Each structure stands twice: as C-alpha cells, then as structure tokens.
Amino acid sequence: MNKVINTESAPKAIGPYSQAILAGNGMLFISGQIPVNPLTGNVVENTIEAQTEQVFKNIEAILKEAGYSFKDVVKTTCLLNSMDDFAAMNAIYGKYYNEMLPARAAYAVEKLPMGVLVEIETIAYKQI
C-alpha cells in the first residue's frame, strides 16, 4: 500500500501532487524540489549555490519525515536553468552524496517553476 509523505519542514506542493510517495516496497519517490523556504514560501536568493542548498534542505526534511536519509537515495534527476551552473550545483551536491553515490541524470531545461535555477527529483530505497 502506498503512503503520502508530507512535512511542514518542506515547501507545500504548488500543484496537484504530493511531496513524496512511499511505495509499499520501500521505494520513496520525492517530487522535484525547488529552492523555496518552507517558512516563508519564497524562493531563496538568486544564486545557484544558495538555491541548491535550499533544495537539499527540502529533500532532507522529506527524507527524514519518511524515516530515510541521504544514504538511502538511489537515483536523482537534476534540472538546471543553465548548464553553466552545473559545476557549482555539483559542488553542493557532493556535500550531500559523498559515501553512497546515487545514479543521476542532469539536464538543462528552458524554464523551471517560479523562475528558479535548480530542481532536484529524488528516489530512495530501503528494506521495510
């Protein structure tokens, strides 16, 4: 049976979707997180470094709510407004994934919600 994961420590969904779904097989699917501060509802400062840090804070809050951690992440998809920001995003990314490195795809896209610079989708797994 699937379970909706929701926490006030991450931004509310801005559309008809859940922050995350925990599938009955131990798979946790976290919707793409953007750099919105959950306390203010506003996008954080307009640098790739600050925005990537906020995205990871949001992912961490959802992982924690579900009883998971970054060590349980098996796949990420990184969406960037510009591939010129890839190296800076990657440096922040490496702070969170330095032991168990998940599979990853990274793309530049034309536009992201709310005009942000980065969005990261996450899939985690652990035996339940």
What are the pLDDT digits (tens) for 78-127? 999 999 999 999 999 999 998 889 999 999 999 999 999 999 999 999 98
What is the reported pLDDT for 127? 87
The CATH number given to whatever domain includes residue 73 is: 3.30.1330.40
SS3 94: helix
What is the reported pLDDT for 61? 98
CA distance 35 to 50: 8
3-class secondary structure per residue, 12-80: CCCCCCCCEEECCCCEEEEEEECCECCCCCCECCCCHHHHHHHHHHHHHHHHHHHCCCHHHEEEEEEEE
What is the reported pLDDT for 46? 94
Average pLDDT of the residues of the chain: 96
Q: How many domains does the chain have?
A: 1
Give the pLDDT confidence of 47-67 residue by residue, as tens digits: 999 999 999 999 999 999 999
Q: Is residue 128 over pLDDT 80?
A: no
Give this prediction's pTM.
Answer: 0.96
Provide the residue range defining the domain that includes 99: 3-125
